[in-house]
Chain A
């Protein structure tokens, strides 16, 4: 562990702590005894704090999305621990996990595929409440409408189907759904990458507001270092399935250690210099 982090970990206990998490995919071919194993990620250690954002950057295929799905309890990791408030979630059985699921929610990259095209906006937002058997149908609808307002959608659009919304609005719909269960951890898996620059800025602003009002812990996964560094407290760099560097955002920009991080920063700088040259 890096010295800078240790002091913070001592100050406050992390909300979510991931230790030694690994995921292996095993593929068996027909008519062959050979097993093909692929390591999605190995020995990942992460800590998320209330009201703080951890950005996870890395190139495509580095294992970011698999990690996100494992932490969101959508897939089972091969080994390791996911502790939420000190309780290891991976040792729980299905029944015991059921109430814990509401605490970790995930936003997908493509909102179009994450929303059932046949359900109305209100039904989509109320779905997690219905699954968790919270409130009556009427109460759930009222909560869904309230959430729509909260994420900046007009509550009059409750009957609309996902395709009737724009890309940015769809992502707001997905955020409203994720917030329905009042989670404490929100995992954003490339949640901005399918949006245009203006919508990226708007959604980022919304997320920042929600973080303060709900004291949410964010795990923001992206391949775009520049975008996530805008509001990340900490950045973890993932390279070939391992976390190679983890630092406060400013420290990372000031003194990158790993060669891949340096490369990543260099590309950000070169893009910036190109943009600067153009505007000049």
Chain B
């Protein structure tokens, strides 16, 4: 497989994941906050094609759940009552990108029936819906933090590499200070310094800005290296000979050289920051209930009885592994492609 194919493949996968997340309201059968206290920790719903009498249905259907007596819900597979899966059903209203309101869902089952593709949590909320909605906050946090880091990185790295000398020394030693910072404790300290009750958006902004502000040093170093070698290229020297200003040289000739590194760093930083968000929310520093994020989905795993009895609570974590692998594949392919272009 060539790097180009690898890149195309991973980009298609990533785009489809982004679409799933962006239109979570449509793809998710339920709202992320709706509880069903009768059905806590329901296992993932199995889809059936054959009923008790041996009739095969083309349209899959589900049975409802009942208490097995051991406080674990099981599928009522001996029941006559089955609920076929319907497509483009009307359900709870939702908003897409915070603007368009709609109530059409991709799939669902009729009222007393339930469909929990990834099981339900302690409050009977659909894990699948929460996973899709949770992606909105986690991916947004990763994206904004990565953009923040790279913006600082390109400014600091560009200045350090272009001007060199004591400016370079000062900025790079400053960057090393940031690399040496125990950022997890810093985040705890910053959170502790703020009032106990702050709004979800403030928490989100705090999380994103601390992650983004801490991570600039590594990309800045890489960009500095590229700028350092680019500013001695003959075409940059030639443009200076025509009387070009530093700003012109940076904008027109030097910074375009860093775009390959920037793109690669972007694909590396996003999963890194999503994972950081997951970790921080797991520790209680992220956005709280009822808003889902991938970190808060996993935070129920802090309880031993959840870990030991309800295996489906691990599903969000398992799904994140292939997602991150796709990100890293994309970064790898980008890097290889960039290398083959410059050589």
The closest CB in chain A to the CB of B237 belongs to A74
On whether A106 and B235 interact (CB within 8 A), knowing A116-B253, A118-B256, A131-B248, the answer reads no
Residues 227 to 276 of chain B near chain A (Cβ within 8 Å): 233-235, 237-244, 248, 252-253, 256
- Give chain B interface residues in 47-85, CB to chain A under 8 Å: none
User: Contacts A116-B253, A118-B256 given: A131-B243 contact, CB under 8 Å?
Assistant: yes
Q: Across the interface, which residues of B come within 8 angstroms of A127, CB to CB?
A: 239, 242
A110 and B243: CB pair below 8 A?
A: no
Do B242 and A128 touch across chains, with their CB atoms under 8 A apart?
yes
Min CB distance A87 to B, Å, is 16
Decide yes or no whether A44 CB sits under 8 A from chain B: no
Contact A114 B243 (CB under 8 A): no
Q: Is A113 an interface residue (CB 8 A)?
A: yes
Q: Max chain A CB contacts within 10 Å: which of B235, B253, B256?
A: B235
CB of B239 within 8 A of CB of A105, answer no
Q: Closest Cβ of chain A: how far from B342's Cβ, in Å?
A: 9
Say if the beta carbon of A72 comes within 8 Å of chain B.
yes
Contacting residues, chain B, for A143 (C-beta < 8 A)? none
- Counting chain A CB atoms within 10 Å of each CB, the highest count among B242, B248, B256 belongs to B242
Is the CB–CB distance between B244 and A131 below 8 Å? yes
Which residues of chain A from 127 to 177 have any CB-CB distance to chain B below 8 Å in the complex? 127-128, 131-132, 177
Residue in contact with A114 in the complex, picked from B235, B244, B252, B256, CB distance below 8 Å = B235
Interface footprint category on A = 20 to 34
Please measure, in the bound complex, the distance between the C-alpha atom of A181 and the C-alpha atom of B239, giving whole angstroms.
Answer: 12
Residues of A within 8 A of B241 (CB): 72-74, 101, 105-106
Task: Contact check, A132 vs B243: say whether CB atoms are below 8 A apart.
Answer: yes
Pick the residue among A102, A113, A132, A181 that contacts B235 (CB under 8 A). A113
Chain A residues near B235 (CB-CB < 8 A): 113-116
Q: Tell me which residues across on chain B come within 8 A of A102, comparing CB atoms.
A: 242-243
Q: Is A98 an interface residue (CB 8 A)?
A: yes
Task: Judge if A41 is at the interface, Cβ distance under 8 Å.
Answer: no
Instruction: Please determine whether B238 and A181 come into contact, CB atoms closer than 8 angstroms.
Output: no
A239 in the interface (beta carbon within 8 A) = no
Q: Which residue of B lies closest to A95 (CB)?
A: B243
Instruction: Name the distance in Å between B219's Cβ and chain A's nearest Cβ.
Output: 21
B342 closest partner in A (C-beta): A117
Do A110 and B242 form a contact, CB below 8 Å, given A116-B253, A118-B256, A131-B248? no
B256 and A101 form a contact (CB under 8 A): no
- Which residues of the other chain, B, contact A97 by a CB distance below 8 angstroms? 243
The contact string, 1 if C-beta is below 8 Å from chain B, for chain A 69-89, is: 100111000000000000000
* Distance, CA A131 to CA B252, complexed state (A): 11
Q: Is the CB of A106 within 8 A of B256?
A: no
CB distance from B118 to the nearest CB of A (A): 47
CB of B238 within 8 A of CB of A114, answer yes
CA distance A45 to B31 in the complex (A): 84
User: Which positions 94-125 of chain A face chain B at CB distance < 8 Å?
Assistant: 97-98, 101-102, 105-106, 108, 110, 113-116, 118
Contacting residues of chain A (22-56) with chain B, CB-CB under 8 angstroms: none
Chain A residues near B238 (CB, 8 Å)? 106, 108, 114, 177
Is the pair A113, B243 in contact by a Cβ cutoff of 8 Å?
Answer: no
Chain A contacts for B242, CB-based, 8 A:
101-102, 127-128, 131-132, 181
- Which A residues are CB-close (under 8 A) to B239? 127, 131
Cβ–Cβ contact A74 & B240, under 8 A = yes
A74–B241 CA distance with the chains assembled, in angstroms: 6
Report the minimum CB–CB distance from B301 to chain A (whole Å).
49
Task: Provide a sorted-by-A list of 29 A–B residue pairs whose CB atoms are within 8 angstroms.
Answer: A69-B237, A72-B241, A73-B241, A74-B237, A74-B240, A74-B241, A101-B241, A101-B243, A102-B242, A102-B243, A106-B238, A108-B234, A110-B234, A113-B233, A113-B235, A114-B234, A114-B235, A114-B238, A115-B235, A116-B252, A118-B256, A127-B242, A128-B242, A131-B239, A131-B242, A131-B243, A131-B244, A132-B242, A177-B238
A residues with a Cβ closer than 8 A to B are 69, 72-74, 97-98, 101-102, 105-106, 108, 110, 113-116, 118, 127-128, 131-132, 177, 181
Q: List the 4 closest pairs (A to B, CB-CB), nearest first.
A: A128-B242, A114-B234, A113-B234, A101-B243
Q: Beyond the given A97-B243, A127-B242, A132-B242, could you list 16 further A-B residue pairs with CB under 8 A, ordered by the A residue number?
A: A69-B237, A74-B237, A74-B240, A74-B241, A98-B243, A101-B241, A101-B243, A102-B242, A106-B238, A113-B233, A114-B234, A114-B235, A116-B252, A116-B253, A118-B256, A131-B243
